[in-house]
Amino acid sequence: MRDDAAENIRLGRLGNAEVRSPESSTWSERSGRPLSDWTDREKRAADAQDRAATDRQLDKALEAYERAIRLDPRYAEPYRAIGIIRYKAGERDEALKAFRRYLEAEADAPDAQQVRDYILEVEPR
């Protein structure tokens, strides 16, 4: 199962923490021009805008999950979501803490083994 965890992490198949910005759309949708007509500078600018929009959405998601934890620290789901977001942001230590808190809060969760596998993949060797 651990090989699946590594593949899931690599491919970004980490569950419900995926955030798609409503501000984000494909380049062609925003410009009305085919992508082949875009300059490299336009493509880089659009990429930067998409990344900024996604970052804002992730920040909002983290705030919401942290609020949920403050309301009920025993509720497990926010810890898992925070772990996924933190991992994707390259914050491995914070991801590990969140994944571990998730398992503390709900050791018999249906995806407990998958989260343990994520921990094995994320923790330093």
Q: What does each of the 125 residues of the chain score in pLDDT, given as a tens digit?
A: 455 665 666 555 555 434 333 344 454 555 566 767 777 777 777 777 777 777 788 889 899 999 999 999 999 999 999 998 898 888 999 999 999 999 999 999 999 999 999 899 888 87
Token pair, residue 31, equals: 């410009």
Rounded-to-integer distance, Cα 26 and Cα 7, Å: 27
CA distance 115 to 106: 11
Q: Indicate the pTM of the whole model.
A: 0.64
Domain that holds residue 89: 2-122
CATH number of the domain that residue 7 is part of: 1.25.40
- Asked whether the beta carbons of 85 and 62 are under 8 A apart, the reply is yes
Distance separating alpha carbons of residues 77 and 29, to the nearest angstrom: 35
Number of domains in the chain: 1
